[in-house]
Chains A and B, each alone.
Chain A
C-alpha cells in the first residue's frame, strides 16, 4: 500500500515537473464595462481602447508623461509650414495574419478610417487631405491646414494599423475577427463575458512580452470586481472604487496604483442651445461665477473620492503642463458668491441640474446642492440614465448638466470641440469669436510655447464667461496581485502589457 502511494506520488510529481515549464502565463484582467465592436475604425468605448493596447499597435504611442513616442513609426518630421507630416515605418513588422506591415498598409488603414461609412474616426482625421506612400516604409500626410493635434490622434484608434487583407475581406464586420499588429492576437470573444487574446510570436517587440495569454472580463460591479481579485480569480482590475483603496492597502497580497487622469468632471450651462437657455443662469455670467465660487471643490473630492481626485477649474488638471497657473483652483467664497448674486439682481436663484443616475454622481451633486444653497442657489436635481442625459444635453433640453470627458492626450482634444462656435460637441452653444481664434491658432502651431500662450489666454476668457464649470479630475486606480510586476500607470488610463510579468 505504502509502496503504491509512493509510486503514485512520484508519478504525480514527475508529471507536475514536466508540465510546469509548459504552463502558460495567463493574465486575467477585470474591466468595468464590456467593450463595443473591436474595430479601431468603429469603436468608441474606453474599455475598448484598453483591449487595443494589447491587440493593435499604433503609429505612435504616449509615454506616462504624455509625450508622443515611437511605436510603429520610428521617426517623423513636420514640414516648415506645418502642412506635411512624414513618417518612417518600422521595418520587419508583421500583422497577426503574417502579412507585412508596410507603408501601403498604413495608407490603406488611414484611408479606411477616413472613408468607411461606419467610421467614428472621421472627425479625428478631418485635417488630413491626403495620405500617400512615399517609399516602401515611408508615408506622408498632407494636411488641409496645419494641425499639430494629428500626432495625438495617431497615438490612439485613428493610428492603429490593421491588416489590409482582413479589412478588405471583412469590411464593416472587421470587429468579428480583428487582425492588427499588436503584441497579442485575437482568439475569441463572448459578449459580456470575455475577450481572449494570446501572445503573437512574431511581434516586433516580443522581448518585452512576458505573458502568454490575456483574458479581459467585463465586471461592472466594483465590489464584485474587487472580490474577484481578492479571491484570486483575477490578477488585475481597472477603476477600483476610491472607497475600496483602504481594503486593498490592508491586503498583503495586493497592490494598487493611482494617477490623476487627463479628463475632467464638469457642469455644462445652457448658454445658447434652444429656448431653455433663456434664463438668468444661462444669460448672466455673474450667476455662474457665483455658483462656481460657492463650491468647495476639495471638500467634495475628499468626501466622494476619498481624496483620490483633485479639484480643478480648467479643462486640464493642475499637474498638467497646459494648466494656466495664473488661475489657481478657487477656494470657496460664499460671501463673494452672495455679492455676485445680489449684483445680478437676485436673492435666490432656482437652477435645474441634470445628473446621471449613478450613485457616485448623485452623492457628489447632493453635496454640491447643499454647498451652493448657502450662497443662494435653489438647485433641483433631475436624475436620468445616461442615454437620456446625452440626448437632452445635445438637444438643449437642460439648464445645467453634469457631464464628464475622458480626456485626450493633446490639450486641443479637451477644449476645442466643446468651446468653439462650430465645435462638434458644443452642447452649451457658447460662442466667442476671440476664443475661437485663440483655439484655432493653438491648433495650428507646432511650437508648444506659442500654444501654451494661446490656451492661457483662452482660459482667462472662459474663466470669466464660464460656459462650463469645471469641478475636478478623477484618478485612475488599478489594483493587482503582488506577483504581477512591471506595470507602469499612465494618466491615459491604459493598461500596457509591455514589461508586465506574472509569477
Chain B
C-alpha cells in the first residue's frame, strides 16, 4: 500500500517536472501582466502582437517554405533511392545505409558546423539556398528510414509480375510499387516537415545573417530577455509540432498493428 502510494507520488513528481515548465509557458502566453510571475488576467494581446511583428511573419514564411520544399524534395529523393537500394546487393546496400546513419550519430552541432564549412568551401553564400540544402540533407536519412521498411515488406515478385503482365518498368514502379509504399511516403513527408520546423541547431549555422527561421528568431529574442511574445510563439510552435508528431505516431502504430494482424491471419 505504502509502496504503491510512494510510487504514485514519485511518478506525479516526475510528470510535474516534465510538464510544469511547458504548462507555465503556455499559461503565461495568455497573461495580461507583462510580469513573468504574476497573473494579471487573460489576454490574446501577445498573439495579436505576434501577428503584427514583421520579423516574425517573415521568419514564419521562411520556416514554412523551407519545411514544405525540403519535405517534398527529401521525400522524392528518398523514394527514388529506396527503390534503387532494394535492387542492390546486400553488401552495397548495407554500406550505403551505414553512411546514411552517420548524421544520426553525429552531434547536431558538428553537423551544422560541417555543412556551414561545406557551403563556405564551395563558395555558396549562406542564406535561403544553403538553409534549404541543409534541411534536405538532414531530412533525407529520416525519409529513407520511413520508406525503406515498406519496400522491404513488399513481395519481390510483385514487380516481376507487373513486368510479365506487360508493364514497362516505369509503369510498374508508378502503378504497382508506389501505391504499395504510399503509407511510408506519407509518413516521410509529415516527419520531414516536422523535423524541418523543429530544427534549430543546423539552421542556426547554415542560415547566415539575412534569413531567419522561427526557431532562430525565438533564440535571438530569448537571448535578450524573457518576453511574452516568445511564450505565444513557443505555444503555437509546440502545438503544431505536437499535432504533427501525434499524426506520425498514430500512423506508425497503426502500421505495426496491421502488420501484427496480418501475421496472426497467416498463422
A and B held together in a complex: no
